[in-house]
Chain A
Amino acid sequence: MKVAETSPGFAFEKAPEAEGWNRPPVIEPDGEGELLEVSMGPHHPSTHGVFRMDVALDGERVIRLKPVFGYLHRNHEQIAETTSYLSMMPYTDRLDYFCSLSNNWAYALAVEKLVGQAVPERAEYIRVILAELTRVQNHASAIGFLIQEMGASGTPLMYAFKEREKILDLFESLTGSRMMCNYMRFGGCRVDTSAAWLEATRKVVAGLPHFIDEYEALLSENEILMARCQGVGVLKPELAVNAGITGPMLRASGVNYDIRRVDHYGIYDRFKFRVPLGEHGDIYDRYMVRVLEMRESIKILEQALKEIPSGPVMDAKAKIRGFRPKPGEAYGRIEAPKGELGFYLISDGGNGPYRFRVRPPSLINLTVLEDMCLGHNVADVVLIFGSVDIVLGEVDR
């Protein structure tokens, strides 16, 4: 596992077409017996919700895999076109319900770009703190779910949830809600943090390294985990880049691409952190990249909590409702815990978006599922699917 000190942004030397990049490896059945078609899901417990895979099996080997989604379609983008900009904010909580604050940020960023709204310093720091806390709790529980799918039913997940509970308590005491926070606004944040809240956050952040040490002692060297994860579900960097994979999945394949580094949105250029990269692109690397990212997030949190200035949390000129942006378009994107989350807005001068489009990391990271699963056993499919780290609310919208 190597860790990139600085990110050159997006640099990829090999021609993408080099090694059969756009073709999944063709797996031939061995010719004995017949293929068995299994419909896994939509109510399979490992599918994180309602997701279906049509799998063709030769014995235990996967010959073909077709993801079928749309079972949780909730008309997210269409609703946006009928409501105002403010009314859409709480809906973004429900996209990826593990990371509602990241979603809030991405949407606020898009609208701020659209109307040319500045954000005060203190609000930027609060946003960074909340987004990194979200990342820690998302990665911790994503690993927990991954291990649960491996058969360790409970223990690692409960360890993660114990820590997540502390972070959710922080969210609740600041925003009023544990998961559906609806906290950020165009031009700042809804309410200011109290000194007591910052103190409580410092305490939780100080406890996080111990939690990750404990978590790693529990899992990282476990032989069963290594046997199940290493060399399984390999995603080649060429394919990852071409399929538009982002987030820990892409970095586990060794591509140095982190939007916090590339895009410098918010105030991320002020913090010192490293971008962990995998070497093999298998499930174990994805696990390891998430663990290391949590450690880097803690570093960002420590810096942000030390430097946070005083001041207003809402820009004086900011309007949360009743504004009509000039006709135009804007794309706001952030490095959400699962990958690049983007909101694309077109305004026609009305008080709501004319067109609203979400670029969800979960959906796009799922597109390579077949390529990763072919040739592996059915039991590994569940594991590979878990290592993508998706939330169905974001896949189907």
Chain B
Amino acid sequence: MLGEGILKGLAETAKNFAGSFVSKERMTTVEYPEERLPLPEASRNFPFLVYDGTDWEAGLRCVACQICEKECPPKCIYIDKSKDKKPDHVGKMQIYPTKFDIDISICMSCQICVEVCPFEAIKMDSEYELATDDRFGGLLLDRHQLAKPNEYYHKIHPTEAAEVDARLAEEKVKADAKAKAAAAAPKPAAVPAAKPAIVASSVASPKEGEAG
């Protein structure tokens, strides 16, 4: 009979319409600003810089190695490396970024900077309501705006942050052991002063390689 297929289709839509009054699964729409779906843990949006301790400037894990700048696909990261060294949050002398800007109007949220960072210094944020009326300055985030404490990282990606902390602790134990061994063992031989800063940085960058 002509029209049978149409009626069959209409029955399907009628079933869904009537069903939406009784079953919750058929109500798929979420009225966004009033109600929100929880973000999954892996959710990512734009990068931020992790700092340890309480002082954001001293605590930044970033040592301005510029690997992320080189690997960033749309080249949205701008880093200036410091000429001097400053103590970080545990008092070790480190090179630091004098400028670390991310242009989030260019950033494509690909997470490559996070993957290539050997110091676990840059991570992905999941904040998404970033609309601004200043399309140049408002979307160019400097290092102060990007710096967020490690606790914040634990809040948004708990599993991942716990793994990262475990890895860093393990590396620190290894670095300490190596520094101790270097200090204790052959004092008179070859290298006169195994400076802890150099040892620590060479151990802490296992992935560092040619990026060119």
Report which A residues bind B (CB closer than 8 A): 83-84, 86-91, 93-94, 155, 162, 165, 169, 172-177, 180, 182, 190-191, 214, 217-226, 320-322, 351
Contacts and interface: CB of A to CB of B under 8 A. Distances in A.
B12 A84 contact: no
Contact of B73 (A87, A169, A173, A217): A87
Contacts of A226: 5
A88 B73 contact: yes
Interface residues of B, number: 31
A90 B112 contact: yes
A364 to B, nearest CB: 26
Nearest to A182: B110
A182 B112 CA distance: 9
B43 A172 contact: yes
A88 B108 CA distance: 12
Contact of B109 (A155, A173, A177): A177
20 contacts: A84-B211, A87-B72, A87-B112, A89-B110, A90-B73, A172-B42, A173-B41, A177-B44, A177-B109, A180-B108, A180-B110, A191-B42, A217-B8, A217-B12, A218-B9, A221-B5, A225-B5, A226-B5, A321-B116, A322-B210
A155 B12 CA distance: 11
Nearest to A351: B212
B3 interface: yes
Contact of A174 (B13, B42, B73, B124): B42
B54 interface: no
A162 B28 CA distance: 7
B71 A86 contact: yes
Contacts of B73: 83, 87-88, 90-91
Contacts of A223: 2-6
Contacts of A162: 28
Interface string B2-36: 11111011011100000000000000100000000
A191 B108 CA distance: 19
B40 interface: yes
A169 B5 CA distance: 33
Interface of B: 2-6, 8-9, 11-13, 28, 40-44, 71-73, 108-112, 115-116, 124, 209-212
A234 B163 CA distance: 57
A321 B118 CA distance: 12
A89 B73 CA distance: 9
B13 A218 contact: yes
Contacts of B5: 220-223, 225-226
B69 to A, nearest CB: 12
A278 to B, nearest CB: 20
User: Taking chain A's interface residues, is the majority helix, strand, or loop, or is none over half, making it mixed?
Assistant: helix
Contact of B40 (A173, A182, A221): A173
Contacts of B43: 172, 176-177
Contacts of B42: 172-176, 191
Contacts of A175: 42
A320 B207 CA distance: 10
A176 B9 contact: no
A223 B73 CA distance: 50
A298 to B, nearest CB: 20
Contacts of A86: 71, 112, 116
A221 B3 contact: no
Given A176-B124, A218-B9, A87 B115 contact: no
Given A176-B43, A223-B5, A322 B211 contact: yes
Contacts of A93: 110
Nearest to B209: A322
Nearest to A319: B209
B40 A165 contact: no
Nearest to A79: B73
A321 B72 CA distance: 12
A93 B13 CA distance: 34
Q: Closest 3 A-B residue pairs measured CB to CB? A: A221-B5, A90-B110, A173-B40
A88 to B, nearest CB: 7
Contact of B44 (A91, A155, A176, A322): A176
Nearest to A166: B28
A118 B3 CA distance: 56
Given A162-B28, A177-B44, A180-B109, A87 B71 contact: yes
A182 B116 CA distance: 14
Given A217-B8, A221-B9, 12 more contacts: A90-B73, A172-B40, A176-B43, A176-B111, A182-B110, A182-B111, A217-B12, A218-B8, A222-B6, A223-B2, A223-B6, A322-B211
B64 to A, nearest CB: 18
Contacts of B72: 87
Nearest to A178: B43
Contacts of B2: 223
Nearest to B67: A321
A226 B4 CA distance: 12
Contact of A321 (B4, B41, B110, B209): B209
A223 B1 CA distance: 10
A195 to B, nearest CB: 13
Contacts of B212: 351
